[in-house]
Structure 1
Amino acid sequence: MKKILIALMVALTSFNALAETPEEKGLAIAQEADRRDTGWGDFQAQMSMLLKNRHGEESLRQMRVRSLEVEGDGDKSLIVFDEPRDVKGTALLTFSHKVKDDDQWLYLPALKRVKRIASRNKSGPFMGSEFAFEDLASQEVEKYTYKYIRDDVLDGKPVFINERYPVSKYSGYTRQLVWVDKAEYIPLKVEFYDRKNALLKTLTFKGYKQYLEQYWRAAEMFMENHQTGKSTLLTWKDYKFRTGLKDSDFTRNSLKRIR
């Protein structure tokens, strides 16, 4: 009898696995990744941005980043430029949302003006980089629909390849392919396809490090634009978690007071 019960359980498990559609599995992968990266509270970090044009000419910028986890909605984030002098004090404030378009404001110190980024402009480049404004918002599960493509191996690591489709009509992408590490459920690579469904950019993540014994953050994020030959390398350091940031640290009025 025991052997029969075990056989039935195995059969049911196999049936359930077969019954799971690619869309259901894709969503389950995204939800598990989100679950593992919930509860960090807030963080601050230093970030450098290395821009390179198609001729190999480079320019470097230094920034500070703050982020606040918001229960029941997307995260809030603030990016402030410190160097070079011509962009010093420029700041981007982002309120990410789960089911509606993100709110974003850009402070331009030369004009002493806070400019709202319209939803229809979210696909535009951020400060001349290969990252669009929408790339800098938190990637909430509800912002996409999903489809599991296949299992694969990337740089010796077993991965899921998950396809996701932006819900927002203002997104600059028709779809994205995400290589998700099977062990830690973190992204290793993302391919972005433009509105004509042509490959536009590839984002690769390197140098992951674990914080608070749970949360993984990449030391490098490299975005390559295949259509222009340009690239942007973001390098992160000095992560500090649970520093006591509050909602009042992420307001439009606070943009003008940043130093």
Structure 2
Amino acid sequence: MKTSFALSFVVAAAVTVSVAGAQAPELTASQIVAKVAESDPWGMGGAEVNAKAVVTETSGKTRSLAFEGKSRKYAPPLGKSVITFSAPADVAGMKFLQVQNSGADDERFLYTPELKRSRRIAGSNRADSFMGTDFSYADLDGRDLRQSDAVKKGDEKVGKFECYHLMATPKNSDAVYGKIELWVRKDNYVPLKYVMYNKGGSPVKTLLSREIQKHAGRWFITGSKMTDNKTGRTTDLSLDKINRREDIPMDNFSVRALEKQ
């Protein structure tokens, strides 16, 4: 009896040690990309923000744009967002509406106050510059990354943070980028660096997350820099005020609302 009890104790102890030492299953590259979309570090799925973009030419000349943005998720991780520009004077009153879609192309509309109407931005224009910045419409909608096949390249540090190193290949034939390389923080799934490649394999843009902050339990990228690798021009994007909201009325995100004075 004593031998049986002792054996049972040893077995139970071994099982306990085994369970305690077991690690959670390693996430796949696609799961990590999904986590990035779910965490919404750019504030495109449930927030009101005040922001500023500063475009710096290689000559040193700068141009600043100020805008307000509001967003809400409607079919997580998909969201709707509206951006309203307040400065400089030549863009004040312009508005941009974006609706992410899972299967079809995302919807994009730009409202111009002088014309008092909005025009649709076609999918064929996704590579175009957004309001003269180094961000394109494709960078804003994130579809090339959302709808991609991703693989792990290993683990690397970016600064002091442990990151997943991934390479994503967009699945859609009309994708702007051939590949997107990214480094994602392991502790909160915030991407700290992106390198976007054209379909010829050359790196065309680099996006760095320079500052992140936590607001109402969610991490936001509050400071970032996009660099055009060919020209050297940069755009610094900063979020100056963040109000996390999940209840912004859906009727805010429509062409009718966009054109409302």
Q: TM-score, normalised by structure 2?
A: 0.85
Q: For the residues of structure 2 that align with 1:140 and 1:192, how far apart are their CA atoms? A: 10
The runs of 5 or more residues in structure 2 that have no matched partner are: 1-10
Q: For the residues of structure 2 that align with 1:105 and 1:183, how far apart are their CA atoms? A: 36
Q: For the residues of structure 1 that align with 2:204 and 2:134, how far apart are their CA atoms? A: 10
Closer/same/farther in 2, CA of residues 82 and 139 from structure 1, 3 Å limit: same
Q: Tell me, what secondary structure is at the counterpart of 1:171?
A: coil
1:96 aligns with 2:100: yes
Q: Percent identity of the aligned residues?
A: 22
The runs of 5 or more residues in structure 1 that have no matched partner are: none
Q: Which residue of 246, 254, 259 corresponds with 1:256?
A: 259
8 A contact 2:52–2:64 mirrored in 1: yes
Residue pairs, 1:27-176, within 5 angstroms: 27-37=30-40, 42-72=46-76, 74-137=78-141, 142-176=146-180
The amino acid across from 2:260 in the alignment is R
8 A contact 1:98–1:140 mirrored in 2: no
Residue pairs, 1:180-219, within 5 angstroms: 180-213=184-217, 215-219=218-222
The amino acid across from 1:227 in the alignment is K
Q: Which residue of 235, 240, 244 corresponds with 2:243?
A: 240
Q: For the residues of structure 2 that align with 1:235 and 1:49, how far apart are their CA atoms? A: 6
Residue pairs, 1:217-232, within 5 angstroms: 217-232=220-235
Q: Tell me, what secondary structure is at the counterpart of 2:165?
A: strand
Closer/same/farther in 2, CA of residues 69 and 179 from structure 1, 3 Å limit: same
1:186-217 Cα shifts (integer Å, max 9, x gaps):
1111111112210001101122111112x100
The amino acid across from 1:48 in the alignment is K
8 A contact 2:154–2:164 mirrored in 1: yes
Closer/same/farther in 2, CA of residues 249 and 198 from structure 1, 3 Å limit: same
Further displaced range: 184-193 or 239-248: 239-248
8 A contact 2:52–2:67 mirrored in 1: yes
Q: Which residue of 22, 25, 28 corresponds with 1:25?
A: 28
The amino acid across from 2:193 in the alignment is K
Q: TM-score, normalised by structure 1?
A: 0.86
Closer/same/farther in 2, CA of residues 72 and 207 from structure 1, 3 Å limit: closer
1:96-147 Cα shifts (integer Å, max 9, x gaps):
1223211101112223231111111111111111101011125697422211
Closer/same/farther in 2, CA of residues 35 and 81 from structure 1, 3 Å limit: closer
Closer/same/farther in 2, CA of residues 142 and 203 from structure 1, 3 Å limit: closer
Q: Tell me, what secondary structure is at the counterpart of 1:94?
A: strand
The amino acid across from 2:200 in the alignment is K
Q: For the residues of structure 2 that align with 1:62 and 1:202, how far apart are their CA atoms? A: 22
8 A contact 2:211–2:224 mirrored in 1: no
The amino acid across from 1:182 in the alignment is K
Q: Aligned Cα RMSD in Å?
A: 2.7
The amino acid across from 1:232 in the alignment is T
Q: Tell me, what secondary structure is at the counterpart of 1:206?
A: strand
Closer/same/farther in 2, CA of residues 30 and 67 from structure 1, 3 Å limit: same
The amino acid across from 2:28 in the alignment is K
8 A contact 1:74–1:138 mirrored in 2: no
